Amino acid sequence: MNFLEERIIRDGEVRPGQVLKVDGFLNHQMDVALLEEIGREFKRRFGHKRITKVLTIEASGIGIACFAAREFGVPMVFAKKSKSLNVGSDVYMAEVESFTHGNRNQVIVSRKYLSGEDRLLIIDDFLANGSALQGLIAIAEAAGASVEGLGIVIEKGFQPGGKLIRERGFDLQSLAIVDAMDEETGEITFRRQE
Ligand code: 5GP
């Protein structure tokens, strides 16, 4: 078991609706030493690639993406959820369906901060159905930037997002992949990874 799987077993809670709650170290209170280790692990996995920016989505991706960006020595850009219906032409926009809130959001990134020269590492906390990542990939594509890799902290392997994105040929790496979780007993089963 790796450092993250150990922490999930210790502090994660299985909630109804296939939700894993990790508020104690990732999504509400943040264990910054753990985030630093996560950042180092992404560097270990993607360090052979030339990355010019780290891209994530607000809010829960931001802390993690900061630590990854620090490791690579590059800026971090996050997609903002936009309330305005008429977003200007000065932004890249994608529609993202929120797994945890069940609504749709427009997410935007200013054209100032992404360009065709960029080589991106996309980071997020969770991967479920893949809507957040697909939205970020769409924004990267609209900017003409290349997606060099996608790094996820916790992938729920029993939901379709991971398979969809790997089938598109992207280099997607998840530090922990949960293959099953039992609401009744709280038992969590991880996929074996080398
Ligand atoms: P997707 O777009 O892949 O369906 O869902 C990913 C997003 O939903 C992540 O950005 C994350 O914020 C949220 N999410 C999805 N599943 C879970 C979960 O089990 N626990 C938590 N805490 N967040 C989740």
Predicted TM-score (pTM) of this structure: 0.97
Give the per-residue pLDDT at 80. Answer: 96
- What ligand 1 atom has the least distance to the C-alpha of 132? 2
Confidence of residue 55 (pLDDT cuts 50, 70, 90): very high
Q: CA 1 → CA 26, 63, 69, distances in Å?
A: 18, 24, 26
Model pLDDT for residues 5-23, shown as the tens digit of each residue: 999 999 999 999 999 999 9
* pLDDT recorded at residue 24: 98
Q: Is the CB of 126 under 6 A from ligand 1?
A: yes
* CATH class as words, domain 3-187: alpha beta
pLDDT at residue 99, rounded to an integer? 87
Q: Where are the domains of the chain?
A: 3-187
- Whether ligand 1 lies within 6 angstroms of the CB of 65 is answered as no
Q: At what angle do helices 3-11 and 32-46 cross, to 10 degrees?
A: 140
Ligand 1, pocket-test mutation among 96, 98, 99, most atoms within 8 A of CB: 99
158 within ligand 1 shell (Cβ under 6 A) = no
- Cα 135 from chain centroid (whole Å): 11
| pLDDT tens per residue, range 80-131 | 998 776 777 899 999 999 988 889 999 999 999 999 999 999 999 999 999 9
The residue among 68, 57, 66 whose CA lies nearest residue 140 is 57
Mean pLDDT of 156-166: 98
Distance CA 119, CA 53 (A): 7
pLDDT band at 194 (very low <50, low <70, confident <90, very high): confident
The pLDDT assigned to 84 comes to 72
Nearest CA to ligand 1 atom 8: 99
Mean pLDDT of the chain: 96
d(CA 144, CA 109): 13
pLDDT at res. 135: 98
Closest ligand 1 atom to the C-alpha of 19?
19
- Say if ligand 1 is within 6 A of residue 155 CB: no
- Kindly state if the Cβ of 25 falls inside 6 Å of ligand 1: no
pLDDT(39) > 80: yes
- Give the separation between CA 26 and CA 6, rounded to whole angstroms: 14
Residues 6 or more apart whose CB falls under 8 angstroms from that of 124 comprise 56, 57, 60, 61, 64, 132, 133, 136, 150, 152, 153
Mean pLDDT along residues 59-84: 95
Amino acid at 81: K
Please report the pLDDT score of residue 101 as a whole number. Answer: 86
| Residue 25 near residue 31, CB atoms below 8 Å | yes
Q: What average pLDDT score do residues 39-68 get?
A: 98
The whole-number average pLDDT for the span 32-57 is 98
* 1 pLDDT higher than 90: no
